[in-house]
Structure 1
Amino acid sequence: MSGPRHRRTVLAASAATVTAALIAAAAATGTAGAAPAASAAPTGAGAVKLSASQRAELIRTADARTAATAKSLRLGAKERLVVRDVVKDADGTTHTRYERTYDGLPVLGGDLVVQRAADGRTEDVTKATTAAITVPDTVAAASAAGAEKTALRAAKAAGGEQADADKAPRKVIWAATGKPVLAYETVVGGFQEDGTPSRLHVITDADTGKKLYEFQAVVNATGTGNSEYSGKVPLTTEKSGSHYVLKDASRGGHVTYNLKNKGSEEDYLDVPKWRYYDADNVWGNGSPANGQTAAVDAHYGAAQTWDYYKKVLGRNGIKNNGKAAPSRVHFGNEYVNAFWDDDCFCMTYGDGEGNRNPLTSLDVAAHEMSHGLTSATARLNYSGESGGLNEATSDIFGSAVEFYAKNTKDVGDYLIGEKIDINGDGTPLRYMDKPSKDGLSYDYWKRGIGADDPHFTSGPANHFFYLLAEGSGRKVINGVTYNSPTVDGRTVKGIGRDKAVKIWYKALTSYMTSTTNYAQARTATLKAAKALHGENSTEYKAVNNAWAAINVK
């Protein structure tokens, strides 16, 4: 989330290598661009809420039959499946996510989702790649030391500071961008050019030493208490001796930490000693000059997002396991950013220019937390078209949480980051009804769009969501005027925000994979609409129309 192009690294995501930040070439899937099979009625409906033991049992059952599943999918003799998650629908349909290994090596870009009916029949399979996973051998001609040097050069070329390999390079099969090859994956730590912690993943060919791909796994973005952006809000805290601490046991044990404007790697990783304590349980005063104020906003934002996930989407936390991710405020000095990081499983916020505008507004907090959601589910690669879909997913849920909160100081809207004034002129960071109003984002999909920054290529998906929820043309919502165009002038009728969000959520959690592109996102949302409402439903037709309106057909 950001203003000028050179600083657009705010509101970001973490995209861990085999799973998944705001200022900033996908591979084909097995069902790219194809319409779902015909059916007259919904085949799945919404996901049911599973207890921890129920989810664990589904995972155990799926794990016990991975060999049989691999055989039914006609995987090679050296391939194995590893169960990552299982989602179950009300009619008994299950959606099981798998990672793959080849001869014991992780296959990056080899993830897939298998959809089974209640009677166990396989109904659908969505693959991150359709390529056969095979390589001549798994003996590397190039050295791991050489791969590490290449990765360090890549990090320094990107403006990284204090670059150092977090671990020794590991051998993998790289399958995310075409023909599978034996490769090394090296993760380089340190800091990005703007001070954001770095987790740069560099993929190098294990035979030639040539760099094949790189992506940043800490991708930029942007407490009761007296908040800066949401007014006076209730906070759930915990009594600790004679003081209170910003810990929310009712929401997975969420804790908000104070990094005290530190930015070193030690402070970045060692957070338990930085807890907030208060004697009277009244936090902040609404001014950024008070160190508790930013914590109030972050704590409140995390609580609202948790509640939205649970009460609206039926999801018990980011990983659906009842455990919260911590929030950390006051990162760095005048740090104009916020980010999600898989390594610490946490959201981190800077204080903005002059330490006057902490990037802790409600939609930003929900945006960051939702990067964790994407990482826990589809793990959309933060590059190419899937990177744009990753960013848009966080914008979609960020906006949805803002509407859900019904906060009179920060009303729901389809503007992203409108409270944090990242541009310095009072304008939002992004506009969902017409993304190009920010001067950088795309309104419509076009060939080659994946080569640009994910913060700009998120535009078409944001536009699709707005059209699906609200429709095209001029309208006023909560005092904000919108006028959403379509690529060919067609009129699109919306189905309402709640239905639109649930369709996107189901598509993300049941049908998208790490390499999903725009055409495949269309297929995934059509499948989701069919499962929730039926193929002949108004909602299914609206999904199709909204994609066509942004030039995805």
Structure 2
Amino acid sequence: MKKRMVIALCSAVLFTGGIHVYGQINGKLRGTVTARDSRDNNPLAISVNEAEGVSVAQAQSFLAEQLQLIPGRDELRLVKTTSPYDGIMVQRYEQWLLGIPVEHGGYTVTARNGLITAATGHFYNTSQSAGSARPVLTSEQAMSYALKAIGARKYGWEQGPANPATLPPLNRVTSRKPEGTLVWIENRISGLGEGQLYLAYKFTVPTLEPFNMQVIYIDAANGKTLSRTSLMRHVTGSGASLHSGQVPLETTARAGGFVLEDKLRGTGIFTYDIRNNNNPAMMVDFTSTSNTAWAGPAVDVHWASEKIYDYWKSEQNRKSFNDLDSPILSMVHFREDTTAPWGNAAWIGYGMVYGDGSDGVSPLVSLDVCAHEIGHGVCQFTSDLIYERESGALNEGFSDIWGAVIETWADPLEQDGSPKKHWQMGEELATSPMRDMKNPKLRGQPDTYQGENWIPTTIADCPTPDLYTNDNCGVHYNSGVLNHWFYLLTEGGSGTNDNFKQYAVTGIGIKKAAKIAYMTELSLAANADYSACRTASISAAKTLYGNCSAEFKNVVRAWYAVGVGVLDTSCAPGPTSIADVQGQDEGIKVLNNPFGERILLRYNFNQAGTADIALIDASGRVVSRAAPRFAAGKGDYTFDLGNVYLSKGWYMLRVTTARQVFSQKLVKN
């Protein structure tokens, strides 16, 4: 039997030394590690003082030193450099192992005026690997496993366009049979969190029945599916436009009439009629004999695509969704099931599809919805956040952010002159909006991390992400936390969150907040969670506005308001979560969450002393309390709840010592 190709990562430890660990170049301290991976202790974020003078030209040697790369085995390859603003640079590096790329592994470096300010990412530790880069299966054999796993009734290459040369190049992907590429990847089906890398074939598979664009990874040793995700990103849930009145359009004259093609922006903006179908081969041009008589949802889509292109180019120095000025392709009158109208819109990996609405929802072509969908394209070509669990919620949240930002920038007023409700997503499509960034709970979303309406994302709670059965473990729900963070950062606000924490945030305005959001999205790793997003956004604020700036401090305050991180505005990123606090001098870990009749704690205290332990219910009432005395060092403690009756639901555990206060959200089962 051939040896299985596995990369084993270092096991996790509960308590590390200090969270501030320094790397060296030429014998000098150069960076401060502000977050570490709990599995292998690798740095997730590194802050660099500009006074150290680490040039961006030294980025690769800096990362090699910090991440302890093994020469001849580990590589970080520069794949993209982005310069969104004057003096600001973001470099994205991709991790390679034995000459093969590592999916979701890599690092980004941010710099100001040529000096590194921060580095963030996820680097897989491969030091214990004895694996081989030689596959057992051929690409063709792996493809047969992939098609069996997907099980579609019809694939894109089985009914391609009659004349693909007449269509935009990106559309030809739907008629092309995929070829496998070798990568290393974690087992995201059953082994997420185990920290092992497997050699796999990666395929991007277009399907027509059902309509989708899927990325699937097949183990190169045995044909098992290691990961599977959809590139389809749903909203859920001059011509006369439906939502913005009379608007100007760039069109192209053709054969005695006009078509919805804008050839003045980038390499083109193309808006097609897919004629109540789901097969791109069926799409045709929208035509009109008069260039001033355009009407219907295609007008909204074409005009919105033009305004969205203009925003990204003028405000963020980004050319189209991929920063390569690729054409923007939209298909209107799309139906997932050709027998019924489709009440949705989606990014499909290379363009957008827009349905005509259903069940009281008008065609999903408002400016904020279009900006949301193209925002998914921006995400795909920046951080490429995995569309499941917390990273998927961030993916959705960033798209909502761009919907609000671009609507405010391009079309802030309703047709009657009243201000648009830009903090509501899709408010023009039906009597109720899809989401509300100002008050996410109004639409069933959480406004606090792991608070009310939060959808559990752990493997135990959501073993297999699925777009249709569990919303890929809550991506359209848990995005409310990022949405509310952005609202507070922009507008400001005060109150008490679901963690019973009082907060006060001073708004910095939507333009500055958008710059921080974009820098954050440029910097995140594909598997980032809310903790990583907080760290990256703080680094972005530091790079853009300075380490002790008001913008920096209010980024921290806004995250505290939504339950992510501590309220530390002392000009350093500070710990993000209870897991990060455990890496410092003292720590508390709950061993049984959800809990039953007792709560099991593991502690590490530098000093002996008495602690106040309180369990608090959702109304803020202390329902159980203890005041044990702890010895210095590590140990376990059982917080017995006695005869107190506790209903099922969420509670807050608070442990107060003479030095610090620890708190964690718990669930009673």
* TM-score (normalizing by structure 1): 0.76
The answer to whether residue 277 in structure 2 is matched with residue 277 in structure 1 is: no
1:217 Cα deviation (Å)? 1.4
1:435 Cα deviation (Å)? 1.7
The 8 Å contact of residues 171 and 182 in structure 1, kept in 2 or not, is answered as: yes
Could you tell me which residue of structure 2 aligns to residue 264 of structure 1? 279
Alignment CA distance shift 1:122-1:471 (3 Å): closer
The answer to whether residue 123 in structure 2 is matched with residue 129 in structure 1 is: yes
Could you tell me which residue of structure 1 aligns to residue 420 of structure 2? 411
Residue type matched to 1:442 in 2?
A: P
Q: Deviations over 1:333-391 (max 9, x none)?
A: 4122211123xx21211112279722111111000111111112111111221111111
Q: Structure 1 regions of 5+ residues with no counterpart?
A: 1-24, 45-57, 286-292, 475-482
The answer to whether residue 167 in structure 2 is matched with residue 174 in structure 1 is: no
Could you tell me which residue of structure 1 aligns to residue 429 of structure 2? 420
Could you tell me which residue of structure 1 aligns to residue 333 of structure 2? 330
The 8 Å contact of residues 82 and 100 in structure 1, kept in 2 or not, is answered as: yes
Aligned-partner Cα distance in 1 for 2:413–2:317: 22
1:218 Cα deviation (Å)? 1.8
Could you tell me which residue of structure 2 aligns to residue 513 of structure 1? 525
Aligned-partner Cα distance in 1 for 2:564–2:315: 28
The answer to whether residue 348 in structure 2 is matched with residue 341 in structure 1 is: yes
The answer to whether residue 446 in structure 2 is matched with residue 442 in structure 1 is: yes
1:96 Cα deviation (Å)? 1.5
More helix by share: 1
Alignment CA distance shift 1:29-1:517 (3 Å): farther
Aligned equivalent of 1:320, options 314, 317, 323: 323
Q: Bigger shift: 140-149 or 198-207?
A: 140-149
Aligned-partner Cα distance in 2 for 1:467–1:29: 33
Aligned-partner Cα distance in 1 for 2:443–2:98: 48
Aligned-partner Cα distance in 2 for 1:136–1:377: 30
1:465 Cα deviation (Å)? 0.7
Could you tell me which residue of structure 1 aligns to residue 109 of structure 2? 114
Q: Deviations over 1:277-305 (max 9, x none)?
A: 211112444xxxxxxx1110101111121
Aligned-partner Cα distance in 2 for 1:484–1:305: 34
SS at match of 1:250: coil
Could you tell me which residue of structure 2 aligns to residue 250 of structure 1? 264
Residue type matched to 2:125 in 1?
A: A
The answer to whether residue 512 in structure 2 is matched with residue 499 in structure 1 is: yes
1:467 Cα deviation (Å)? 1.1
Could you tell me which residue of structure 1 aligns to residue 474 of structure 2? 453
Residue type matched to 1:408 in 2?
A: E
Alignment CA distance shift 1:28-1:95 (3 Å): farther
The 8 Å contact of residues 40 and 535 in structure 1, kept in 2 or not, is answered as: no
RCO higher in 1 or 2 (8 Å CA, sep ≥ 6)?
Answer: 1
Could you tell me which residue of structure 1 aligns to residue 541 of structure 2? 529
Greater Rg over alpha carbons, structure: 2
SS at match of 1:97: strand
1:154 Cα deviation (Å)? 4.0
SS at match of 2:281: helix
SS at match of 1:199: strand
Residue type matched to 2:437 in 1?
A: M
Q: Could you tell me the percent identity over the aligned residues?
A: 30
SS at match of 1:96: strand
The 8 Å contact of residues 487 and 549 in structure 1, kept in 2 or not, is answered as: no
The answer to whether residue 222 in structure 2 is matched with residue 211 in structure 1 is: no
Alignment of 1:16-31 (within 5 A): 31=43
The 8 Å contact of residues 283 and 296 in structure 1, kept in 2 or not, is answered as: no
Q: Structure 2 regions of 5+ residues with no counterpart?
A: 1-36, 158-176, 463-472, 566-669
Q: Bigger shift: 230-239 or 108-117?
A: 108-117
Aligned-partner Cα distance in 2 for 1:346–1:514: 20
Residue type matched to 1:537 in 2?
A: S
1:237 Cα deviation (Å)? 1.8
Aligned-partner Cα distance in 2 for 1:412–1:520: 30
Aligned-partner Cα distance in 2 for 1:377–1:310: 15
Aligned-partner Cα distance in 2 for 1:235–1:484: 45
Q: Deviations over 1:33-88 (max 9, x none)?
A: x68456799999xxxxxxxxxxxxx9xxx9xx998788666354144444332123
Could you tell me which residue of structure 1 aligns to residue 550 of structure 2? 538
1:101 Cα deviation (Å)? 3.3
The 8 Å contact of residues 357 and 363 in structure 2, kept in 1 or not, is answered as: yes
1:90 Cα deviation (Å)? 5.7
Residue type matched to 1:461 in 2?
A: L
Could you tell me which residue of structure 2 aligns to residue 96 of structure 1? 91
The 8 Å contact of residues 96 and 114 in structure 1, kept in 2 or not, is answered as: yes
Could you tell me which residue of structure 2 aligns to residue 380 of structure 1? 385
Residue type matched to 2:427 in 1?
A: E
SS at match of 1:492: strand
Aligned-partner Cα distance in 1 for 2:221–2:94: 24
The 8 Å contact of residues 54 and 116 in structure 2, kept in 1 or not, is answered as: no
1:548 Cα deviation (Å)? 0.8
More strand by share: 2
1:322 Cα deviation (Å)? 3.3
Q: Deviations over 1:509-529 (max 9, x none)?
A: 2x2121221101001110111
